[in-house]
Structure 1
Amino acid sequence: MSHLPSLRQLEFLVALVEEQHFGRAAEKCNVSQSALSTALKELEQNLGVHLAERTKRSVTITPLGNSLADRARHILLDTKAFVDFAAANSKFLSGDMKLGVISTVGPYLLPGIMPQLRKKFPDLRLFIKEGITHDLLAALQSGYLDAVLLALPFEIGDLVHFPLFEDGYKLAVTPQHPLANRQHVDGQDLTNTKMMLLEKGHCLQQHALSAFLPDGPVQDSSFEATSLSTLVGMVAEGLGTTLLPDVAITAGLTDNYDVCLIDVDKALPREIALVWRKSSPRGEELQHLGTFIKQAYEG
């Protein structure tokens, strides 16, 4: 059985093809001419092919030798990229990191934090994937994502979770609504009130309703929105009421709409958290990232 060639042998082959001379190729690789020649002969024997035709004064690379040298160049470049990638990721919070975010948190939390994050960790390249909780957790478990920014309660199995902050709700109504002049409402005030909420798959839908058990609103089954901005627009048009998370309101979601926002007492807030696999080699980094996000949001 033939053995795989060493990277050093491939380097010698490329150097010989480029220099067309054993002496210059050996000098380029910082080895003796005899060492280079011996290594290439071993490569030929191992592969069962002729790479070069040798005479006392010249060397002629065979057509197959040229073709194999082209492949060797790609292998050497890929190997260098492999090593460079590892080196880039060996620093704390550096290199590539893939972060999943749910759409009711990410667009409102990350824009205010990213400039600080880039300044603090300039070597970190964060790739963001937005989606619904179920899909993001599946991507995390399969290894496609390094971590997910989500809202609890949600079944996350044995994933590590790092709590960031609690996110409450406000009732959004038109100025003409009977509750518009109230500063506070609670679950009893909203009992059987039909709420426009996000479509199925968005965990905020269930969080918002379960926050008021045993009393509270019910979902308007005739309408399901795809985004929080759609919900605000529908409320502003007088088509109903909704519950909005504080993180989105703080980020300016309702600034351009004529709606009244009312504090909701006794509603259980959702917990915004960063989760990752227990087996992740970047666990310590992710805990540090969670601490940074938590402090940046609170600050």
Structure 2
Amino acid sequence: MNITLRQLTYLRALGQARSFSRAAEIVHVSQPALSVQIRELEEQVGQPLVERRPRDVRLTRAGRRVLETAERVAGELRDLQSEARRGLGQVNLGVIPTIAPYLLPASLAGLRAQGGLRLREATTESLLAEIAEGRLDAAIIATPAPELFETPLFEDRFLLAGTPDQLTMVRGLSPQAIDPDQLLLLDEGHCLADQALALCGLTRAAQRIDLGASSLTTLCALAGQAMGLTLVPEIASLQETRAFPTLALSRFDEEPARTVRLVRAREVSDAEAWFDPLAHVLQKAGKGLVAQARRRF
């Protein structure tokens, strides 16, 4: 039996998470399956790679040396996959769901001019994992990813959404003053939900309306029917208010915001040929949407 790429991938996840259960989640397998692959890798190397402690997992000196090799192999594999795709003129781009329906239509003409593009919509966690695995070339996200190279695209401020009567009662409030009983959020796993909770100084336990909603459009539909209040990014404001005429928006006195950014792996040999032009197209479209929102609301 030879050392496999799967085993090296699992070791990388274990080195990152320092927990068998968390590492298994990262690579989307069961914990026993991951443990078996690590044991087989240790047998191939001929010495322990992991110190198994009650509440922690650490790599041995041999484990760290193998991990260095695994990182190098992963980087070379990403380059190979990227070069193969770009040989066909294709870029694999991921986008989070609270950005995709708004930014992509606005940038479609420019994206087509860039050549072949394959889009994937998923949560931030999934997109980052796929970049690490080489399945995505880049992703548009709204939270920091220190392990990746990033280009900020634009600032996207949050507005408060509800019916006109609801907004009249809360006008001028800070996000922290929103009643938890009135706050509508996306399901767990969406970074917009986490950002909204942080801005409002709340936790999931404090939020009393648990919808499990998977789209911002669903929240806007409910907020437009006086079911509660929600936070809407500027880039979504024009589209959602057109879709729901009873939905009104109001700005906070001190406006919270998120930074939308384009990210990729740090070591990509041909990044200048496609990453910078892609960032320029997305930046132009995003800033245009934000400018329209600020003129309207």
- Smaller-chain TM-score range? 0.5 to 0.7
Of structures 1 and 2, the larger Rg is shown by 1
Runs of 4+ in 1 over 6 A off after TM superposition: 85-88
* Deviation, structure 1 residue 188: 5.0
Alignment of 1:72-151 (within 5 A): 89=86, 95-119=89-113, 121=114, 124-151=115-142
Deviation at 1:189, TM superposition (A): 3.9
CA distance in 1, matches of 2:138, 2:94: 6
Write the letter of the residue equivalent to 1:143: G
Which residue of structure 1 aligns with residue 250 of structure 2? Answer: 262
Q: How much has 1:292 moved relative to structure 2?
A: 2.6
Deviation digits for residues 118-165 of structure 1 (CA, Å, limit 9, x no counterpart)? 24x3xx111000010101110110000000100024xx2420011001
The one-character-per-residue Cα deviations of 1:210-267 (angstroms, maximum 9, x if unpaired) are: 22449xxx533432311011101111222111111111113x1221310111112324
- Structure 1 counterpart of 2:165, which letter? Q
Q: 1:233 to 1:88 in 2, by over 3 A?
A: closer
Pick closer, same or farther for the CA change 1:88–1:223 going to 2, 3 Å.
Answer: closer
Which protein has the bigger strand share? 1
Q: Deviations over 1:54-97 (max 9, x none)?
A: xxxxxxxxxxxxxxxxxxxxxxxxxxxxxxx979946xxx8001
Q: Work out which of the residue numbers 236, 240, 256 in structure 2 matches 1:253.
A: 240
Q: Distance in 1 between matches of 2:278 and 2:262?
A: 9
CA distance in 2, matches of 1:150, 1:159: 12
Normalising by structure 2, we get a TM-score of 0.62
- What amino acid is the match of 2:89? G
Contact map agreement 1:113 1:293 (CA 8 A) in 2: yes
Distance 1:89 1:188, change over 3 A: closer
Matched residue count: 204
Distance 1:191 1:133 in 2: 27
* 1: CA distance, partners of 2:156 / 2:116: 27
Distance in 1 (alpha carbons) for counterparts of 2:84 and 2:162: 53
Deviation at 1:116, TM superposition (A): 2.6
Q: How far did 1:208 drift?
A: 1.4
Pairing partner for 1:233 from 221, 245, 258: 221
Query: What displacement does 1:190 show?
Result: 2.0
CA contact (8 A) 2:224 2:248 kept: no
Relative to its length, the structure with more helix (as a share) is 2
Contact 2:186 2:193 in 1 (8 A): yes
Q: Which residue of 2 aligns with 1:13?
A: none
Percent pairwise identity? 33
1:273 CA drift (Å): 0.3
